[in-house]
Structure 1
Amino acid sequence: MHIRLAGLQDLPALIAIDSVARQDPQRAEQIADWLGRYRCLVAEVQGNAAAYAVMHRHFFGCAFIEMLMVGENHRRAGLGAALLACIQVDCRGQKLFTSTNRSNEPMRRLLERQGFVENGVVENLDQRDPERVYFWISE
């Protein structure tokens, strides 16, 4: 596995591994926007994009992981944890937030293993599936 900064040249590969982009053309536009505006990391396996993460600093002035997506063929292989760890190193000494749906048990377990703690709930984003906000700060 190799983790590097993503750029606009990675757009087709990120769209290909994004499970939402296959059904929602607006997601492809969103990924392009992220690549142009925010810090995006891509995890490659054997030279191919397998996962990506997007972080910005527009959450009340704090760092926020907007997206962590692991391609279906690479899930539960440590890519998500590796991307989170890279972001955590970048944010050492700072507040770092992210969120996920209550129903996303794998992501919730991953966040807890990486030292994130649940920090609040946002209702009404997705019907009957509240968004759980998580917080991390290095010691």
Structure 2
Amino acid sequence: MVLIRQATLQDLTKVCHIDAVVLGNTSRAQELSSNVTAGECFVACENAEIIGFIVMDYSFFKQCFIPLLIVHPQHQNRGIGADLITYVESVCTKDKLFTSTNLSNRPMQRLCQRLGFIQSGIIENLDPGDPEVIFYKPLQRNSETD
């Protein structure tokens, strides 16, 4: 069973390791440290081992935004990414959730579509020859808790 919780500083080494395995380098380590410190990072754990993580912030026009979703390659295609996004939906305090991915990242695009996200635009010139696709999902909020 997968447990999702807010990352702590004790999780940072494992989060950075998983990111480096997927990315191929440690260039995001400082950014991930800032995300964990700010309470913006959530980890997926299985048998007390961190197997993936997600970062959520409010940097995108003050809306809830997922800038990063990473699942260790040995644990991909098991629904962990969907679980992490669903968890973020539950803790997001806005009624809109945004994320983005490169046009070349078909698995993430399929995940977004499967979870009810709608393509909301494309940004050119971030990565040469690989536009960024923006996705949006309206979230149902209980008006009594807003």
Question: Do structure 1's residue 26 and structure 2's residue 17 form an aligned pair?
Answer: no
8 Å Cα contact 1:102-1:131 kept in structure 2: yes
* TM-score, normalised via structure 2 length: 0.88
Consecutive unaligned residues in structure 1, runs of 5 or more? none
The one-letter code matched in structure 2 to 1:78 is G
Instruction: Report the more deviating stretch, 123-132 or 86-95.
Output: 86-95
Give a deviation string over 1:85-123, Cα, whole Å, max 9, x none. Answer: 011122376111010000000000001111101000010
CA distance in 1, matches of 2:108, 2:53: 14
Consecutive unaligned residues in structure 2, runs of 5 or more? 141-146
Residues 1-139 of structure 1 aligned to structure 2 (within 5 Å): 1-18=2-19, 19-20=22-23, 22-23=24-25, 25-91=26-92, 94-139=95-140
Runs of 4+ in 1 over 3 A off after TM superposition: none
CA distance in 2, matches of 1:113, 1:26: 30
8 Å Cα contact 1:117-1:134 kept in structure 2: yes
* TM-score, normalised via structure 1 length: 0.93
What is the CA distance between 1:37 and its match in structure 2? 2.1
Q: Secondary structure at the match of 1:67?
A: strand
